[in-house]
């Protein structure tokens, strides 16, 4: 019995079955590659859902983590540490943010934003207490907490977990008229992904976000963009909003903020929104801890200094071109922006998961989403020859 079989059996026996991973047991990673317990090498085309944009185990982020771990890891926010101010400065310089609130996970950043905009709605906009409404989009994915699954349209994520948190209004993604019609005097915010990742890399029509931005400004509605997956270089820009030529009032980042070394997230905004939070009203034991800050600083540095964002744009266009050249009667659509891509199969193909297993056997790791879609998102350090190899494996699998 192989070691990986033992590990899988133990997971099945002792772990809660809330995930259905591909049966590959990974033990090491470097750059775009990971290795399993049998020593087989794979090209990672998921990047831990874009958490390892900088590549696996980037040496400079690792060095920063080890150095900081030897000095000070956690103080809680009861005291100050010498890393937080530097992270604030560097994030503000990079993104143009005026106020920053650090948390740990993406879902925590979303919850933080929901709390802040509701409070802003009551104290600044003058919405009656308890009446605040937030506009969200169908097929969204913003996390797994109770409030977040309350406005999910995915039955798996939602069913059986009620009673649900009220205060959300769901509209179709990419429909500006529906957005305009959903605004009322109690609307405090709109929470939207620039590209819907979990839904299968759904890109909104051109001009959609410009109109949404105008409507939010006209109606004093806070525009929150969840850039946890699309942000930090994934789409070929630092933030995906740049493709739309707009600026959000609140931007949520996480995942690649630490290059996959540690859970770090942040809410980026202005004094008007984040200024409503006073001491004792929101926080987290680990949020803004020195280890997280040191890791995030290094992760942002390598992302920008090593040309990863530019590479994501260049290699993304090249990868997409390669995918679109595949001739296969089971491919329904190929779409993407930067290195955030999807190949949607026709329903008759029998589901995307079996093709992900074939790709795994060929040494490429990708993941199915929404039944018929294969999502592809390699680390931003991928090279032209690695893209060529990946396209070849995908072509052989789908042809």
pLDDT digits over 35-64, tens only?
999 999 999 999 999 999 999 999 999 999
Say if CB 34 and CB 276 are below 8 A apart.
no
Residues annotated as part of the active site: 141, 226, 255
Q: Which of 159, 164, 156, 199 is CA-nearest to residue 19? A: 156
Q: Which helix (H) or strand (E) holds 353?
A: helix 353-361
Q: Work out the mean pLDDT of the chain and round it to a whole number.
A: 98
Q: Which residues of 209-225 are buried (b: 16+ CB within 10 A; e: fewer)?
A: beebbebbeeeebbbbb
**β-bridge pairing 33-36 and 340-345:** unpaired
DSSP state of 330: T
What's the pLDDT tens digit per position in 276-296?
999 999 999 999 999 999 999
pLDDT over 60 at 1, yes or no: no
Residue with tokens 């992900």: 356
For residue 246, give both structure tokens.
């707009």
Nearest to 382 by CA among 194, 234, 227: 234
Q: Which domains does the chain have, with CATH numbers?
A: 62-305 (3.40.640.10)
DSSP-assigned beta bridge partners for residue 225: 192, 251
- Size of the chain in residues: 399
| Residue 135: strand, helix, or coil | strand
């Amino acid at each position: 019995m192989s070691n990986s079989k033992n590990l899988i059996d133990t997971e099945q026996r002792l772990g809660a079955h809330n995930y259905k991973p591909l049966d590959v047991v990974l033990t090491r990673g470097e750059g775009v590659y990971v290795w399993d317990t049998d020593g087989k090498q794979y090209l990672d085309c998921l990047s831990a859902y874009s958490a390892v944009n900088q590549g696996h185990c980037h040496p400079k982020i690792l060095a920063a983590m080890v150095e900081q771990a030897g000095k000070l890891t956690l103080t809680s926010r009861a005291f100050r540490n010498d890393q937080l101010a530097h992270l604030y400065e560097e994030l503000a310089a990079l993104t143009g943010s005026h106020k920053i609130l650090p948390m740990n996970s993406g879902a925590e950043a979303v919850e933080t934003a929901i709390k802040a905009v509701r409070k802003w709605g009551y104290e600044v906009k003058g919405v009656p207490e308890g009446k605040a409404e937030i506009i969200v989009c169908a097929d969204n994915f913003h996390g797994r907490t109770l409030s977040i699954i309350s406005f999910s349209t995915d039955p798996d994520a939602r069913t059986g977990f009620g009673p649900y948190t009220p205060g959300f209004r769901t509209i179709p993604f990419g429909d500006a008229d529906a957005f305009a019609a959903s605004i009322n005097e109690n609307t405090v915010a709109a929470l939207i992904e620039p590209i819907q990742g979990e839904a299968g890399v759904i890109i909104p029509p051109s001009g959609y976000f410009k109109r949404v931005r105008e409507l939010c400004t006209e109606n004093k509605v806070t525009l929150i963009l969840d850039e946890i997956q699309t942000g930090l270089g994934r789409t070929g820009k630092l933030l995906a909003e740049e493709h739309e030529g707009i600026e959000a009032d609140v931007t949520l980042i996480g995942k690649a903020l630490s290059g996959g070394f540690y859970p770090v997230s942040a809410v980026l905004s202005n004094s008007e929104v984040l200024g409503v939070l006073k001491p004792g009203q929101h926080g987290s034991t680990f949020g803004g801890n020195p280890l997280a800050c040191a890791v995030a600083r290094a992760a942002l540095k390598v992302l920008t200094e090593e040309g990863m964002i530019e590479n994501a744009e260049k290699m993304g266009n090249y990868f997409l071109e390669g995918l679109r050249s595949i001739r296969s009667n089971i491919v329904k659509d190929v779409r993407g922006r930067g290195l955030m891509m999807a190949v949607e199969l026709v329903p008759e193909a029998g589901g995307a998961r079996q093709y992900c297993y074939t790709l795994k056997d060929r040494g490429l790791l990708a993941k199915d989403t929404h039944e018929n879609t294969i999502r592809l998102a390699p680390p931003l350090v991928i090279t032209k020859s690695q893209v060529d190899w990946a396209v070849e494996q995908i072509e052989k699998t789908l042809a």
